[in-house]
Structure 1
Amino acid sequence: MPHSIVLYDNAEWRKHLLPFCAVRPVGNLRVGICTLDEKWKHIFHTEVSYLTIDYLQSSFPVQAKLQGQALIIRANVLPSERLIEALDGLQIGEKLVYQGEWVAALVDQFPLEANAHFDALKPILLDFDIPQITFPEDIFIQNKNQLLFDFDLLTKGRSSATLNANNMIFGDHIFVEEGAQVEGVSLNSLQGPIYIGKHARLEEGSFLRGYVAIGEQARVKIATRLYENVSIGPRSTIGGEVNNSVLWGDSAKGHDGYLGCSVLGEGCNLGAGSSNSNLKNNWSSVKLYDYFSGKNRDTGILKCGLMMGDYAMSAINSSFNTGTVIGVGAQLAISNFIPKFVPDFSWLTDSACSSYQMDRFIAMLQRKRNAGADDLVDPNILTRVFDDTKELRKQLINH
């Protein structure tokens, strides 16, 4: 067992995962029930830190005790039983290599002196697939398998809380944490597991069909329909119709409308009646804006909906086209289809397109926190993201 784990993302490849890693390390993204750091902490029963880009490092510091042996894991790698076995077998001075890229390394000295240290390590070549999140859509694509992995990880050797008789139960692959309120709900786990977190609230008339995870203190509103492959993060509110989607946490899609093949970051809000498309009329593969290249990238998949960065919000009846990317902190209030790429901190209405003023944005987040939200990020991080995306906003405003 390593003394500590460090999730590494101080590399160019992380830019492909924007906007989701703009205000957090890649190792803090949610896929399945848990965030990536939570998974590794559960697996190895040790502290997890991040080696990330400069403007995030102070808010996500490396633990002080990491002055010695450490297991360094590429942050976008997802755990599997075979990978865990390979990690357990690593010796100091060795690294796991998959398709020419290092996946993990066990070192006896940390911190490291840049990447040159990895070059000197003995490579152990892996001959099995390593699941990863390389692009934003991989979050919902990989979510189903990771939800099952996390379900087993979190529930092994434990007993579920008892569900009341007024619920409709199909199958026994259901785990309910203590304090959850579940009344008059249809729970179908015949095809996949259903996990309900502590103090979550599932209201009457809701339908859940596994694979589904409801995070701690999340709320599932009356008559919600959650289909296969849905993860609702902690303290989120969900309503309407949802499938193949992940909400990081502290976000709200609380009303009728459809969300499919989509990912929402932290602190997002979709107004009542908002929906997204996830399939093109000509049945061609979906393209997404890629922050790394500054161009649209062909995903190679037929269904892909909305990728919404942290703290972005939309007005009532917002319509999102297939393959839409919304940056951090964007505010949307237009009656037609929203543009397929909206840069971070843009403010769009039918009459104008402008830049959100950072002081007003931070004041809004503070008011939100005063009202009970738990998603206030370091203002210095927001300011850095604001500055880094200035040219993208100019292009939209001058378009």
Structure 2
Amino acid sequence: MYFILSEGVEWKNLFPITLTRPVSEIRLGILTIRERWEKYIEGKAIVFTQPYLSKKYSSGIEKKNGFENILLINSSFIPRDENLIQIILKLKENEAIVFKDQIVAVRKSYLDYSDKNQTTFFLSLKNEKKYKKIYHINQTQIIHIQYPWDIFINNGIILKQDFDFLTKGKDSFPLLGKNHLFLKERIFLEEETIADNIVLNAKFGPIYIEKGVKIMEGSMIRGPAVLCKEATLNMGTKVYGATTIGPFCKVGGEIKNSVIFSYSNKAHDGFLGDTILGEWCNLGAGTNISNLRNDYSKVTVWNFKEKSFFPIDVQFFGMIMGDHSKSAINTQFNTATMVGVNANIFGYGFPPRYIPSFSLGGIQDKKVIPFKKVCETAEIMMKRRNVHFSFLEKEILEYLYHSPME
């Protein structure tokens, strides 16, 4: 069956992560939001997103004029209750599930494809009178991802939930070599894991290792944690939960409570805590991210809409870095730093706590990378991983370059 994953106001609130992807493509726990909903619903998601992203993430559905008896889901929500999935699947025409003042899911008798950019209306209770029945749910049944920091705050909860869901009724592959495993029954390995002289400690949360992962000697992992497909941990890596290392990433040093999206590198020593790295990021050797203020107070975070910093009720907060951004060796990031897309960060002193997309340099320079160089660097980096820098990727970066939304 087909269903629609749409996005509301959360898309803008999740900058810079969503500058280059729909909300549904955010990775946390073991899966992306889209992958998780597809497994729960046992169907194929049709993604409704921003026009400049739709060619990459919604290709193929343009042939449809509309959808009959379609389930529309707000992709910023992640269910915590299996019974909630059954309620969603049994929704009848114009019945909706609501969390606080937002609709989580609604069944529509017909949805025209031209409405794909107006689905925020359907996900709003301003349209409440048109619904035959509304089911209200509470926070024990759902997780709402509204801001980037919600990703690392909720990663441990979702990772444990994903582990139980994905391993139910399955047997783990054995781990060969001289390794130390604590609470082995909460450690699950897919095939082709390469590891020797490592420590896996699942006493504090489960550990999931996907196909083709390589863990070099001396590495230590304390759950909850996941190493996604063909990720590499360099020698002596220390991973604390709750951490997600995305597919094809190369990491080293010390990592705590962080989510690293696909194809990003933190290959050398340095601390990364309470942080989100997008795709194709690279942190130079010795890069460190502070995740706690010296005075132990709550942090302030850059507000993309108001273009100023505002306080939030979070104490541990490292950095949020958009896709394709990079730091030079020994870069030192302050607590609660926001980095846009394709920034190249280097220079003396601490970089500012907000670094716009396509920035070149640090506090001493306020330059912008020429777009030709943006494409050249992306093409070189992606080619090293045997990935083609596609025209669709270029279009997205070009749109952001000439139509900045930050």
TM-score by length of 2: 0.91
| Map of 2:383 onto structure 1 | 370
| Map of 1:395 onto structure 2 | none
| Map of 2:296 onto structure 1 | 283
Per-residue CA deviations over 1:142-164 (Å, capped at 9, x if unaligned) read 10011111112222111111012
- Contact kept? 2:351, 2:362, Cα under 8 Å: no
Q: Alignment partner for residue 235 of structure 2, among 202, 206, 222?
A: 222
CA deviation after TM superposition for structure 1 residue 84, in Å: 1.6
- Contact kept? 1:250, 1:373, Cα under 8 Å: no
CA deviation after TM superposition for structure 1 residue 373, in Å: 4.8
CA deviation after TM superposition for structure 1 residue 375, in Å: 7.4
- Contact kept? 2:24, 2:75, Cα under 8 Å: yes
Q: Alignment partner for residue 307 of structure 1, among 320, 324, 331?
A: 320
- Contact kept? 2:175, 2:193, Cα under 8 Å: no
| Map of 1:358 onto structure 2 | 371
Amino acid at match of 1:195: Y
Per-residue CA deviations over 1:42-79 (Å, capped at 9, x if unaligned) read 11221112111111112211635673232211111112
Per-residue CA deviations over 1:137-196 (Å, capped at 9, x if unaligned) read 000001001111111222211111101240101002001111111211100001210000
CA deviation after TM superposition for structure 1 residue 371, in Å: 1.9
- Cα 1:86–1:295 shift into 2, 3 Å: farther
- Contact kept? 2:274, 2:291, Cα under 8 Å: yes
Inter-partner Cα distance in structure 2 for 1:290 and 1:375 = 34
CA deviation after TM superposition for structure 1 residue 40, in Å: 0.9
Matched, 1:111 2:123: no
Matches within 5 A, 1:262-273: 262-273=275-286
| Map of 1:396 onto structure 2 | none
- Contact kept? 1:257, 1:272, Cα under 8 Å: yes
More moved, 337-346 vs 282-291: 282-291
| Secondary structure, aligned partner of 2:143 | coil
| Map of 1:126 onto structure 2 | 136
Q: Compute the RMSD of aligned alpha carbons.
A: 1.8
Matched, 1:30 2:40: no
- Contact kept? 2:352, 2:363, Cα under 8 Å: no
Identity %: 31
Inter-partner Cα distance in structure 1 for 2:264 and 2:388 = 9
| Map of 2:89 onto structure 1 | 88
| Map of 1:74 onto structure 2 | 74
| Secondary structure, aligned partner of 2:104 | strand
Q: Alignment partner for residue 45 of structure 1, among 42, 45, 52?
A: 42
CA deviation after TM superposition for structure 1 residue 327, in Å: 0.3
- Contact kept? 1:97, 1:123, Cα under 8 Å: no
| Secondary structure, aligned partner of 1:70 | strand
Inter-partner Cα distance in structure 2 for 1:183 and 1:348 = 40
Matched, 1:348 2:346: no
- Cα 1:375–1:340 shift into 2, 3 Å: farther
In structure 1, list runs of 5 or more residues that go unmatched.
393-399
More moved, 361-370 vs 254-263: 361-370
CA deviation after TM superposition for structure 1 residue 349, in Å: 4.3
Matched, 1:258 2:271: yes
Q: Alignment partner for residue 403 of structure 2, among 377, 388, 391?
A: 388
TM-score by length of 1: 0.93
- Cα 1:83–1:232 shift into 2, 3 Å: same
Q: Alignment partner for residue 17 of structure 1, among 14, 19, 26?
A: 14
Amino acid at match of 1:15: K
Q: More helix by proportion, 1 or 2?
A: 2
Amino acid at match of 1:53: Q
Matched, 1:6 2:18: no
Amino acid at match of 1:169: L
| Map of 1:100 onto structure 2 | 101
Inter-partner Cα distance in structure 2 for 1:122 and 1:14 = 28
